[in-house]
Amino acid sequence: NAGVTQTPKFRVLKTGQSMTLLCAQDMNHEYMYWYRQDPGMGLRLIHYSVGEGTTAKGEVPDGYNVSRLKKQNFLLGLESAAPSQTSVYFCASSYLRWTGENTEAFFGQGTRLTVV
Amino acid sequence: DAKTTQPPSMDCAEGRAANLPCNHSTISGNEYVYWYRQIHSQGPQYIIHGLKNNETNEMASLIITEDRKSSTLILPHATLRDTAVYYCIVREGHNAGNMLTFGGGTRLMVKP
């Protein structure tokens, strides 16, 4: 049981390049999230998904797209990278208990992205 | 905007209890208080959560005031490995897909 795994762990992009970050979870969780964290700041939500085939915008969605084609995977895409997107990206997942209560979220170890 | 207020930093002596306060004066009846911590830019780690009763687990205790407008996370015997940023978050408990909103947190420094 690996939990939440992010790929890659590090990446350097040139301005204008595109890339996809992969988040995979093996806990059969319904809900998945992408956050970014800038130096000295808290995490900010980019996009999230409440189930396979569904996505929604978070607090800072501009410049990013996401897809949830399979329940276990949540992809974050940058179509044309900008220096302002230099950040650490975290993925998380959670689920609802049978009581309807949200569980705690489980986080991956992050992807450090630098756009030059 | 984050719904919580925390001091930006605190120090604690190793082996002593660390008491981290959090104000959440606008918390609503169906919102839980969650605590996470982030050690040296790793992914945030869940610690504990509660609705209105005090809670304890193997990591920490959570004390919530009777009016639920504030809470305190207690690490009973802090170690150097507890040095981290601690986030207090209020979150609706039963809304599908409800996400966590992070504020600035409290940077706890445990000193020898």
pLDDT at A69: 95
Q: What local confidence, expressed as pLDDT, does residue A83 receive?
A: 96
Predicted confidence at residue B95, as pLDDT, reads 65
Distance CA B11, CA A71 (A): 42
Say whether A107 and B87 touch across the interface (CB within 8 A): no
pLDDT of residue A1: 63
Q: B59: number of CA atoms within 13 Å, CB side? A: 12
Q: According to the model, what pLDDT value does residue B101 have?
A: 83
Q: What pLDDT does residue B86 have?
A: 97
Interface test with A, best of B100, B101, B106, B107 (most A CBs within 10 A): B100
Mean pLDDT, rounded, for A72-99: 93
A61 close to B (CB below 8 A): no
Q: What is the mean pLDDT of residues A13-17?
A: 97
Backbone angles phi, psi at B82, to 5 degrees: -85, -5
Q: Do A102 and B43 touch (CB under 8 A)?
A: no
Task: Give me the residue from A31, A48, A101 closest to B94, CB to CB.
Answer: A101
Better pLDDT: B94 or A68: A68
Q: What is the pLDDT of residue A76?
A: 98
Find the closest chain B residue to A29 by CA distance. Answer: B97
Dihedral sign of CA atoms B38, B39, B41, B43 in order: negative
pLDDT at B47 over 80: yes
A61 Cα distance to chain centroid: 11
- B102/A33 touch (CB, cutoff 8 Å), yes or no: no
B102 and A109 within 8 Å at the Cβ level: the answer is no
- A31 → chain B, closest CA residue: B97
Percent of chain B with pLDDT over 90: 76
Higher pLDDT, B103 or B71: B71
* pLDDT tens profile A90-112: 999 998 777 777 788 899 999 99
A to B CB pairs, distance under 8 Å: 65
Contact B75, B82 (CB under 8 A): yes
Q: Which residue of B lies nearest to A89 if distances are taken between CA atoms? A: B43
Q: What is the arithmetic mean of pLDDT over A31-43?
A: 91
pLDDT digits 0-9 by tens, B48-78: 999 998 999 999 999 999 999 999 999 999 9
Cα distances (angstroms) measured from residue A50 to each of A24, A35, A59, B86: 15, 15, 16, 26
pLDDT at A41: 86
